[in-house]
Amino acid sequence: MEATVYDVVVVGGGPAGLSAALVLGRARRRVAVVDAGAPRNAPAAHMQGFLSRDGMPPAGLLAAGRAEVAGYGVELAEDQVVGIEAGFFVRLAGGRVLKARRILVATGVRDELPEIPGVRQRWGRDLLHCPYCHGWEVRDKPIGVLGTQPGSVQHALLVRQWSDDVVFFVHTYDLTSAERVQLEARGVRVVSGEVARLVVEADRLTGVELADGRVIPRTAVFIRPGNVPQAGGLLTGLGCEVNEAGFVTVDATGRTSAFGVWAAGNVVDPRAQVITSAGAGSAAAIAINADLVQEDVERAVEDHDAAGGVFSAA
Ligand SMILES: Cc1cc2nc3c(=O)[nH]c(=O)nc-3n(C[C@H](O)[C@H](O)[C@H](O)COP(=O)(O)OP(=O)(O)OC[C@H]3O[C@@H](n4cnc5c(N)ncnc54)[C@H](O)[C@@H]3O)c2cc1C
């Protein structure tokens, strides 16, 4: 028996992948979505800033999305893609191999957090990264920002928009005098010294403890994590070009430099929110369908010519 040829295999069933699958399913394309089931915002109880879905649990959005795409005949596979060979042959950890005409990679991004006690446990709860996702919920509260990597000071200056009580913990950051002036001018208190741990009481963050034993009371701490594309090797393995930050380069529709391969959402842009990731998936789907239509027309003309080029009279 011949293997099913999917028009599109979507790798990753987060907001970007499911949004693409919805558009492609409605365009009557044969689509499979393979999802490993670990979306980036899973630790958060609520998803903010998505018009008409503000405050919805992240899992609720995905459950609704899966039901919608299934209604248009999209196949959903709970599995992990472990390789994609030219052609395209998509290998799943469970042993299946799917054949596809086009590929959309929407595998998201991995957040790299510093090894400070408490950081992993509080991630997405009161150890936060995105003020647009969580700033409103901690407005006017005592907030901390951890200095870890380039961009940490900008992060503190941004977070200041949500509270008058912001402390910048220098930690391992190499603070310049110009940055210190900026922080002080904006009323951000600078606390020197390495951070030893986040203090947690009754399942709530209550402070930041420094290596010298001082504890600075805080209700939330922001951090700018490092970002690495998830399963980025699938894209580079197909020959897609990447930028200096290691993210694949795409055009406005998410088309990569490799024939037939698109990428959308956080795997391309770690700053993309849920709504913009979903929008990128939708834009990619429309471009992929257009590309398939073009190929369908070329094949039809070849078949038509091979058959002697006889037009059937209307
Ligand atoms: C703690 C936290 C809170 C956040 N809160 C908000 C918020 O309130 N509002 C907001 O707009 N944004 C929020 N974000 C950002 C949001 O998570 C992203 O914008 C969004 O998840 C990006 O969608 P995506 O589809 O690109 O990736 P993801 O949602 O991460 O989905 C990618 C999917 O691909 C799967 N996958 C990865 N590799 C493979 C593979 N090899 N094979 C098969 N599947 C694979 C993953 O398991 C995952 O299910 C938050 C982020 C974090 C970390």
Tell me the pLDDT tens digit for each residue of 284-301: 999 999 999 999 999 999
Q: What percent of the chain has pLDDT over 90?
A: 96
* Mean pLDDT value across the chain: 96
- What average pLDDT score do residues 146-169 get? 96
Closest atom of ligand 1 relative to the 18 alpha carbon: 25
pLDDT band at residue 309 under the 50/70/90 scheme: confident
Distance CA 268, CA 230 (A): 10
Rounded to the nearest whole angstrom, what is the distance from the C-alpha of residue 282 to the centroid of ligand 1? 16
Positive or negative torsion for Cα 284, 286, 292, 297: negative
Ligand 1 probe mutation, 133, 162, 275, most atoms within 8 A of CB: 133
From 164-168, 185-189, 263-267, 310-314, the region with the lowest mean pLDDT: 310-314
- What average pLDDT score do residues 257-276 get? 98
- Output the residue whose Cα is nearest ligand 1's atom 47: 38
pLDDT band at residue 178 under the 50/70/90 scheme: very high
Distance CA 207, CA 203 (A): 12
What is the model's pTM? Answer: 0.96
Q: Ligand 1 pocket by C-beta < 6 Å: which residues?
A: 11-17, 34-41, 43-44, 47-50, 80-81, 106-108, 111, 124, 130, 133, 230-231, 265-266, 272-275, 277
- Output the residue whose Cα is nearest ligand 1's atom 50: 41
Rounded to the nearest whole angstrom, what is the distance from the C-alpha of residue 191 to the centroid of ligand 1? 33
Rounded to the nearest whole angstrom, what is the distance from the C-alpha of residue 16 to the centroid of ligand 1? 8
Distance CA 168, CA 212 (A): 17
Whether the predicted pLDDT of 2 surpasses 70:
no
Residue of higher predicted confidence among 4 and 266: 266
Positive or negative torsion for Cα 109, 78, 120, 47: positive
